[in-house]
Amino acid sequence: MPYQHTAELSNDLRIELFFGSTPLTPFIEKALSTPWNAHLSHSSREKLLSYSFNALLVFNEIQIGYARFLTDTLIFSSLCDLYIASSYRNQGLGATLLKHCLSSPPIRHTYCIMQDSNYNTSFFAKHGFKPVPSSPFPTLFRLPLSQSS
Facing residues of 4 across strands? 18
Stretch 48-66: mean pLDDT? 93
Adjacency order of strands within the sheet including 53-59: 4-8, 13-19, 53-59, 62-71, 76-84, 111-115, 139-142, 130-131
Binned at pLDDT 50, 70 and 90, residue 40 comes out as confident
Predicted pLDDT of residue 42: 84
**Residue 48 CB partners (closer than 8 Å, separation 6+):** 32, 37, 40
Binned at pLDDT 50, 70 and 90, residue 148 comes out as low
In the chain, what are the domains? 4-147 (3.40.630.30)
Predicted pLDDT of residue 101: 95
Least confident of 19-23, 70-74, 92-96, 123-127: 19-23
Secondary structure, 3-state, 61-113: CEEEEEEEEEECCCCEEEEEEEEECHHHCCCCHHHHHHHHHHCCCCCCCCEEE
Residue 72 contacts residue 51 (beta carbons within 8 Å): no
pLDDT digits (tens, 9 = 90+) for 113-138: 988 766 678 888 889 998 888 877 77
